[in-house]
Structure formats: structure tokens, C-alpha cells
Amino acid sequence: MPKPAAIVGQIILYGAFAAFIGYFSTSPTYQQIPDDVALIKLSMSHLGGRECRKRTPEELAKLPANMRAPLDCPRGRSDIKLVLELDGKPMFDTVMHPTGLSKDGVSTVYKRFEVKAGTYQLAVKMNDNLVINHDFNFVKEAQVTLKPARVLVIDFNPDKGGLFFQ
């Protein structure tokens, strides 16, 4: 049977521990970004294009019947060029490389930018096949109002028409 002094000591120590945890669960307050700042997150994964060529009838005739695909496409994918501009000034410019041992995987980028809250002209330009195209084949431009402590996400989805802001 524990002594009364041991029970009182345990109550005091458990109470002190609970107060310690209770204090640090709410204080000091943590603020991820300042009050007058908004956040732009650029997050996308996309497969780069491939330079396929059409096989000639002579080439197709030389192949076994089960391998007569009309297009000859290499396994590797193209790098992807991505540019982000804020009010006409370049904010981020990169070339995303495909992943995988054969360079046939997705190209991925994740960046976050802290900017002062306000209204901006935002432009995102992407070229997903540097071998064929030299211009940007996906462009999204819009005037956006960034509110304090809010997040604007830039993503890519071919089913939604390409680049989009949310």
C-alpha cells in the first residue's frame, strides 16, 4: 500500500507535467507567415512530351505482324520549361527534368513564394516538349487578388485545360 506522501508527490508531479504540456500546447503562438503576406504555391507533376515519328510502309513491312505500330516513340520524355511572372517580372524560371532511370517518368516542381498581399498580374507559362516546340504551349494569365495569410495554388491538370489557379 503506497504511503500518503508518495500519493501527494505523484499528484503534484503529474499536475506540474499537465500544466507544462497545457501551457506549451497554446503558447507561444505560432504564425506561419506574417499578417500582411500571402503565399503562392507552385506544385505540379506532369509527363513531358515525346518526339514520335510515323513509320514508313517499308519499315512496317519489315517488322513482325505483332509489332507494326504506326508510330515509333522513344521511351524518354522531354524536359519541361516553366516560367512564373508576377507583374511582368520573372519570379521563377526553371527546366524540370523527367525522373526515372530511362528519363520516362514525371517532371515535378514544388515551390512556395511569400508576397505582400495585394492585386497582381500573374502569368504562368509552360512548354512540355522542348524537342518540338520552342514556344510555350500552356499559358495562364490572370489578375489575382492575394489576401493576407491566404494561399494561391498553381497546378496543372490536362483535364481542366492545363494550368489553373485555385
For the stretch 67-110, pLDDT in tens is 999 999 888 899 999 999 999 999 999 999 999 999 999 999 99
The answer to whether residue 60 sits within a structural domain is: no
In a domain, 41, yes or no: yes
Residue with grid cell 489578375, as numbered in its chain = 143
Q: Note down the domain range covering 84.
A: 37-50+77-165
Predicted local distance difference test score (pLDDT) of residue 74: 86
For the record, the C-alpha cell of 11 comes out as 499528484
Which strand (E) or helix (H) includes residue 61? helix 57-62
As a three-state string, the secondary structure of 31-42 is CCCCCCEEEEEE
**Do 122 and 44 share a structural domain?**
yes
Q: Answer yes or no: do 98 and 23 share one domain.
A: no
Residues 26 and 41 in one domain: no
Are 1 and 83 members of one domain? no
Task: Report if residue 140 sits inside a domain.
Answer: yes
Looking at the fold, whether 23 and 82 belong to one and the same domain comes out as no
For residues 9-25, average pLDDT? 94
Sheet holding 89-96, edge to edge: 89-96, 80-86, 118-127, 138-146
Instruction: Give the residue-averaged pLDDT of 25-34.
Output: 83
* CA atoms within 13 Å, Cβ hemisphere of 163: 20
User: Does residue 81 share a domain with residue 41?
Assistant: yes
Condensed to tens digits (0 to 9), the pLDDT of residues 127-146 reads 988 877 678 989 999 999 99
Task: Give the burial string for 78-101 (b: 16+ CB within 10 Å, else e).
Answer: bbbbbbbbbeeeebbeeebebeee
pLDDT at 123 over 90: yes
